[in-house]
Amino acid sequence: MNRPAILITGGAKRIGACIARSFGAAGWHVIIHYGQSRDAAQALADTLPSASIVGCDLADPDAAVAMVEQLAQTLPDWRMLVNSAAVFRYDDAAAILPDVFAEAMTVNALTPTRMAQAFLTHARAKAGRRVIAITDMKLANPNPDFFSYTMAKHALSATVKMLAMGACKAEDRIYAIAPGAMLPSYDQQPQEHETSGRMNLLQRLTAPQEIAEAALFMAQGWLASGETLFIDSGQHLLAQPRDVLYLARP
């Protein structure tokens, strides 16, 4: 295979799928990770010039690391890992739900960090390697909703600079992309998303394609390692008392 390879966790749907399509069009071999969406992953792979799928439960960090190690043995030029998959379940500041917390910290923080470490240890690449963690604009604009989810994203964000300082070679880059409201989430209705998605400084809907374009730019390695890009039309610069899910809800 003469294409550089990229693995995208949660690559079968939503933002992950958008990233997959963009890298496929740019000439990369795209490896689409799925948890329970095998059919969607295969359907997407069938539309790309060069793609494959791989399944793994990210609630099992050891299995995820084994997946990375196996891919590293077979891919001659594996340049990018994008940790896009996440769980998004509700709890709030009044009381952490232990099961929700444990799942969020594992899937949203522990597993992607261990995958990044395994990738940086084992992956072979003809140019510098890149890790991108998809975090959240809640890092700068927090609210008390989805409490465990937000804690886990803060934990993942903290690893970006630490990995950049201590786990990669000079030619490697560790980045994060922090999206704002882009797609309807949880039980949000389309009309609610249309309103709340514009609650940013530019008063516009931010497109998932903007995340994909940012990832393609970061693949070139121009930014210093450890940097985070906020792709949210300025939402993180506002103070919002609740998750956007509720801001337009009667």
For 14, 39, 135, 151, the CA distances from 158, given in Å and listed in that order, are: 25, 34, 10, 11
Task: Give residue 124's region: left, alpha or beta (phi > 0; psi -120 to 50).
Answer: beta
79 three-class SS: strand
By CB atoms closer than 10 A (0-12, 13-18, 19+), residue 102 is middle
- Considering only 17-31, 129-143, 176-190, 195-209, which range has the smallest mean pLDDT? 176-190
5-247 CATH fold: Rossmann fold (3.40.50)
Confidence of residue 133 (pLDDT cuts 50, 70, 90): very high
In the chain, the percentage of residues whose pLDDT exceeds 90 is 93
Helix (H) or strand (E) holding 17: helix 14-25
Rounded to 10 degrees, the C-alpha dihedral 107/112/117/123 comes to 120
Span 12-59, pLDDT tens digits: 999 999 999 999 999 999 999 999 999 999 999 999 999 999 999 999
Span 143-187, pLDDT tens digits: 999 999 999 999 999 999 999 999 889 999 999 999 999 999 888
Confidence of residue 218 (pLDDT cuts 50, 70, 90): very high
The span from the CA of 147 to the CA of 90, in Å, is: 7
For 1, 31, 59, 164, the CA distances from 73, given in Å and listed in that order, are: 14, 14, 23, 23
82: β partners: 8, 132
Q: What average pLDDT does range 108-115 have in this prediction?
A: 98
